[in-house]
Chains A and B, each alone.
Chain A
Amino acid sequence: MIPSGHAAIAGLWVYLHTQPLLWLTATLAAYAIGVVLHERAGRSPLVNTVAVAVALLVSMLLATGTSYATYFDGAKFVHFLLGPATVALAVPLFRNRQVVARAIMPIAAALLAGSLTAACSAMAIAWALGATWQTVLSLAPKSVTTPIAMGVSERIGGSPSLTAVLVILTGIVGAVIATPLLNVLGVRDWRARGFAVGLAAHGLGTARAFQVHEMAGTFAGIAVGLNGIATAVLVPLLIEFLR
């Protein structure tokens, strides 16, 4: 029996809705729309590609009553590429190895100061404004790349899934404010600019830095790796000290 038009569409939806293909395609399409809007806005950091894509996808999920678990079943293929992309950060590092080796002292100093500032200031502000302790803990690793941040959050008693969201929001904030903020500060060195953005806003800051300048992107990538390691070591010690 051939189902009538309406029932056919409903049946098709029931089928596609639970298939990875639909949400994988939707993720790429939402991101593509974000890219187009970003270009239309003259590559303004205010129109953030990830923010646009997330807003579109969240609206779609809410409108169709789809759970995050169903969505992620399709989107996990995109999520997976975060791993090899992190490994690939070694390539720009290698290409610019001489420049990096010469800047080893400023890198070490900025890493220590920046890493502590990121964790301490976020926790102090949230605590002072009355956030619950678990939320304060979930904020501590907000500046580092998602897998490290979630691991640290779990270890210190935060909520890993809340941390994952806070990490991305930090990345968006960092990508949006970095250029105007660094201009106001009068920092013109691409290495310092890139390193600061990568340290504060991980991969999303790095993506933004690569858009602006290859050298800034390289130093941002170095900062992501180094701050990931520094935070994984320092934040658990810091929490131990606060208890």
Chain B
Amino acid sequence: MILALTLLLGCQLGGEIVSQALHLPVPGPVLGMVFLAILLIARGRLSLELGQAADFLLRHLSLFFVPAAVGVISNGARIAREWWPLSVALVVSTALTITVAALVFQSVERLIARGRR
């Protein structure tokens, strides 16, 4: 477990360093994900330990969002003032985004499948 966690944190640290040094708009953990993917693909296999550590973290992914979400109390006044445009924008835009992404994915996939035949 220690090795796997070191690898995950090491990739994050590497991502953080590259992101800061090159002033990239992409944050460290996302670059870290790219680094780990490259490492795994180069190595061609995944250790049992890393698989278990990743599964553990991903199973509880939504827990890690809770502390930031509680920040809602610091923004209470503005949210109360602009609750109507905010809630309509969040719900409609999220529904629209899911719809557009899913339908575009599906139609391009079908177009390609038809081309292959």
Residues of A within 8 A of B (CB): 27-28, 30-31, 49-50, 53-54, 57-58, 61-62, 68, 71-72, 75-76, 78-79, 81-95, 97, 103, 105-107, 109-111, 113-114, 117-118, 121-123, 125-132, 135, 139, 142-143, 145-148, 151-152, 155, 159, 161-162, 164-171, 173-175, 177-178, 181-182, 185, 187, 189, 191-193, 195-197, 199-201, 203-204, 206-208, 210, 217, 221, 223, 225, 228-229, 232-233, 236
Contacts and interface: CB of A to CB of B under 8 A. Distances in A.
Interface residues of B, number: 73
25 contacts: A50-B65, A57-B66, A68-B70, A79-B64, A82-B68, A86-B12, A89-B33, A92-B58, A94-B37, A94-B46, A106-B112, A109-B105, A110-B105, A131-B89, A139-B90, A165-B75, A165-B79, A166-B86, A181-B95, A181-B98, A189-B109, A196-B97, A196-B101, A200-B98, A203-B62
Given A87-B11, A91-B51, A97-B41, A68 B73 contact: yes
Contacts of A127: 85
Given A78-B63, A201-B98, 14 more contacts: A31-B66, A50-B63, A50-B65, A84-B29, A86-B29, A91-B51, A110-B101, A117-B93, A126-B88, A148-B25, A152-B25, A187-B106, A199-B101, A232-B25
Listed residue (A89, A199, A217, A233) with the most chain B CB atoms within 10 angstroms of its CB: A89
B26 A228 contact: yes
Interface in B50-80: 50-51, 53-55, 57-75, 78-79
A10 B51 CA distance: 46
B37 A93 contact: yes
A173 B86 contact: no
B99 A122 contact: no
Contacts of A132: 82
A228 B58 contact: no
